């Protein structure tokens, strides 16, 4: 069998030599995003240093690390949100389905449709609940009203919000609670049918009940999406993620299956972090 080990190497055991190429192709097919020699700068400040890792399809990965270590900046490199930051510079590659998203022929609007994002602060548009979701569809040129209405309803359902809002779809999104607003943002992110969801501390400002609701959603979502979450909550990461990565001062210290990461960390610094010694 071919497997990906903790160092992201492809290992091939007990396999007929003729089948090796096939096995490697199959593994490659499982990879959604591959980050290669990624370096990222704010002006002269070299923040992210030589990051190499990959995210498998339909997996949940949590990026952990202390405040200021570059987690959010890293996440933003995965759908080019950093393009907006003046003076920022990126070297290296981010391959999405094998294609470099920093390549010349990339349509950034299409990239962001495919790689959706949910932010720390619930940030609905100052529009109705309905329009929050319909807006993205319209931007992408969808005009069919019936299609839009059905899609809005479906996304609210997937985000676990439909029952709570179905009688007030045309009320302002700001009339919702924080937890509901965050689920609306999730519904908005999935409206355009992405294959990757980036979530930057999506439960940071939510109460425990809303947090639990969102964590359950994420667990279900991996059937449909590749999910990359930034968190500083170690317990949460252990509970919901298949893979975990630890960043420190802009370096990726460790990246492995969550089981190994939490029970047998290879690096002392990871161990210190997960045992709360930071």
Ligand X SMILES: Nc1ncnc2c1ncn2[C@@H]1O[C@H](COP(=O)(O)OP(=O)(O)O)[C@@H](O)[C@H]1O
Decide: is 194 part of the binding site for ligand X (CB under 6 A): no
Decide: is 121 part of the binding site for ligand X (CB under 6 A): no
Decide: is 47 part of the binding site for ligand X (CB under 6 A): yes
Decide: is 81 part of the binding site for ligand X (CB under 6 A): no
Query: What spatial distance separates the first Cα and last Cα of the chain, rounded to whole Å?
Result: 39
Decide: is 65 part of the binding site for ligand X (CB under 6 A): yes
Site string for ligand X, 133-172 (x = CB under 6 A): ----------------------------------------
Q: Answer with the entry of Mg ion, ligand X, none that 211 interacts with (C-beta below 5 to 8 A by kind).
A: none
For ligand X, give the closer residue by CB, 70 or 202.
70
DSSP the chain: -EEE-TTS-EEE-S--GGGHHHHHHHHHHHEEEEEEEEEEEETTEEEEEEEEEEEETT-EEEEE--TTSSHHHHHHHTTTGGGGSTTEEEEEEEEETTEETTSTT--HHHHHHHEEEE-SS----SSBHHHHHHHHHHHTT---HHHHHHHHHHHHHHTT-HHHHTT-TTSBGGGS-HHHHHHHHHHHHHHT--SEEEEESTTTTS-HHHHHHHHHHHHHHTTT-EEEEE-S-HHHHHHH-SEEEEEETTEEEEEEEHHHHHHS-SSHHHHHHHTT--
Distance CA 270, CA 65 (A): 9
Q: Residues 40, 62, 70, 198: which binds ligand X (CB under 6 A)? A: 70
Distance CA 38, CA 47 (A): 10
Look up tokens 């809005």; give the residue.
152
Stretch that binds Mg ion, among 42-50, 71-79, 122-130, 187-195 (CB under 5 A): 71-79
Q: Residues 18, 67, 105, 263: which binds ligand X (CB under 6 A)? A: 67
Decide: is 259 part of the binding site for ligand X (CB under 6 A): no
User: Smallest distance, Å, CB 50 to ligand X?
Assistant: 16
Q: Residues 85, 121, 144, 275: which binds ligand X (CB under 6 A)? A: 85
Distance CA 40, CA 42 (A): 7
Decide: is 41 part of the binding site for ligand X (CB under 6 A): no
- C-alpha dihedral, 197 to 198 to 201 to 207, nearest 10°: -20
Decide: is 245 part of the binding site for ligand X (CB under 6 A): no
Q: Residues 5, 68, 144, 147: which binds ligand X (CB under 6 A)? A: 68
User: Smallest distance, Å, CB 137 to ligand X?
Assistant: 30
Decide: is 241 part of the binding site for Mg ion (CB under 5 A): no
For ligand X, give the closer residue by CB, 69 or 165.
69
Decide: is 231 part of the binding site for ligand X (CB under 6 A): no
Q: Answer with the entry of ligand X, Mg ion, none that 13 interacts with (C-beta below 5 to 8 A by kind).
A: none
Q: Give the total of residues touching ligand X (CB under 6 A).
A: 11
Q: Which residues bind ligand X (CB under 6 A)?
A: 42, 47, 65, 67-73, 85
Give the interface with Mg ion as residue ranges (CB under 5 A).
72
């Amino acid at each position: 069998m071919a497997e990906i080990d903790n160092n992201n190497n492809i290992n091939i055991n007990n396999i007929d030599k003729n089948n090796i190429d096939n096995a490697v192709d199959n593994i490659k097919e499982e990879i959604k995003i591959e980050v290669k020699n990624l370096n990222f700068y704010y002006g002269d400040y070299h923040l992210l240093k030589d990051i190499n890792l990959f995210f498998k399809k339909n997996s949940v990965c949590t990026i952990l690390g202390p405040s200021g270590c570059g987690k959010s900046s890293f996440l933003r490199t995965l759908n080019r949100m950093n393009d907006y930051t003046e003076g920022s510079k990126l070297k290296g590659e981010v391959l999405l389905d094998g294609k470099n998203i920093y390549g010349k022929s990339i349509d950034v609007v299409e990239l962001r449709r495919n790689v959706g994002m949910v932010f720390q602060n619930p940030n609905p548009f100052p529009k109705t609940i309905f329009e929050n979701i319909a807006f993205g569809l319209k931007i992408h040129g969808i005009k069919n009203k019936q299609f839009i209405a059905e899609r809005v309803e479906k996304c609210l359902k997937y985000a676990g919000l439909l029952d709570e809002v179905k009688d007030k779809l045309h009320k302002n999104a700001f009339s919702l609670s924080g937890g509901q607003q965050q689920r609306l943002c999730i519904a908005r992110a999935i409206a355009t049918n992405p294959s990757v969801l980036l979530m930057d501390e999506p439960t940071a400002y939510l109460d425990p009940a809303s947090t639990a609701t969102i964590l359950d959603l994420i667990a279900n979502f991996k059937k449909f999406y590749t999910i990359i979450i930034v968190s500083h909550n170690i317990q949460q990461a252990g509970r919901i993620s298949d893979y975990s990565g630890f960043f420190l001062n802009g370096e990726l210290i460790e990246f492995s299956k969550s089981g190994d990461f939490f029970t047998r960390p290879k690096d002392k610094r990871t161990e210190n972090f997960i045992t709360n010694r930071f």
